[in-house]
Amino acid sequence: MRGDAKKSWPVEERTTLGCGAISTFVNEVVLTPAGTRMNRQFLTHPGAVAVVAWDEAADEILVLRQYRHPVGMELVEIPAGLLDVEGEDYCLAAQRELAEEAEIQAGRWDVLVDIFSTPGACEESLRVFLARDLSSAPRPQGFVPEDEEAEMTSTFTSRAAIVEMILNGECESPSLVSGVLALETARLLGKLDDLRPSDAPWLARQ
């Protein structure tokens, strides 16, 4: 069995149905290999990064509580942010988000997992990093939390407790679920030293 592969069916027409601050809602008329045409509506997206910040000594993970209006819930999340700075290195973006949202920096960075959050409806690609050797850091100069971020709280929580909450259906954030379970898998398999480096190729963005 082989993994995911880059492929693109021909697009005969693209129509913008709506524009937002981050995403555009589009309809594409796509020619299938069988010669038929299909319409697919989806959201464009710049991509994102997220961070599992793990204090190994205490065996705790940094989590946030953030209000998410589209789903009408306050979610338990990990630090994350958009890749909306042209040409910015992915790991540098993750480092910036960790400092902005939690005033934390890390001495070691690895890639935990790459996912498409909702590939049937949105082109968002997400890379989740593992950050270790944590210490305090100031927020980047000029950054001021606004809107949901102004109400966001952060705390370190037991890794085992977060895993249990995920398996009990108490946490549903895709970045937290995929990142924490990837960490748990690597930990149990003894693969923590074999994780991909922070600058590893990212298939979705090649």
Segments making up each domain of the chain, as ranges: 11-43, 48-205
DSSP 118: -
pLDDT tens digits, one per residue of 19-46: 999 999 999 999 999 999 999 999 999 9
Query: pLDDT tens, 139-167?
Result: 888 888 888 888 999 999 999 999 999 99
Q: Is the pLDDT of residue 86 over 90?
A: no
100 is catalytic: no
Q: Give me the pLDDT at residue 10, please.
A: 97
Query: Worst-scoring range by mean pLDDT, 79-88, 136-145, 190-199?
Result: 136-145
Whether the CA torsion 97, 62, 59, 163 is positive or negative: it is: negative
pLDDT at 146: 83
pLDDT digits (tens, 9 = 90+) for 114-134: 999 999 999 999 999 999 999
d(CA 67, CA 75): 6
pTM (predicted TM-score): 0.95
Q: Which fold has domain 48-205?
A: Nucleoside Triphosphate Pyrophosphohydrolase (3.90.79)
**Which position among 28, 74, 123, 149 bears the catalytic label?**
149
**Res 47: pLDDT:** 97
Indicate the residue type of 45.
Answer: H
Give counts: helices (H), strands (E), the chain. 4, 11
Residue 67 reports pLDDT greater than 90? yes
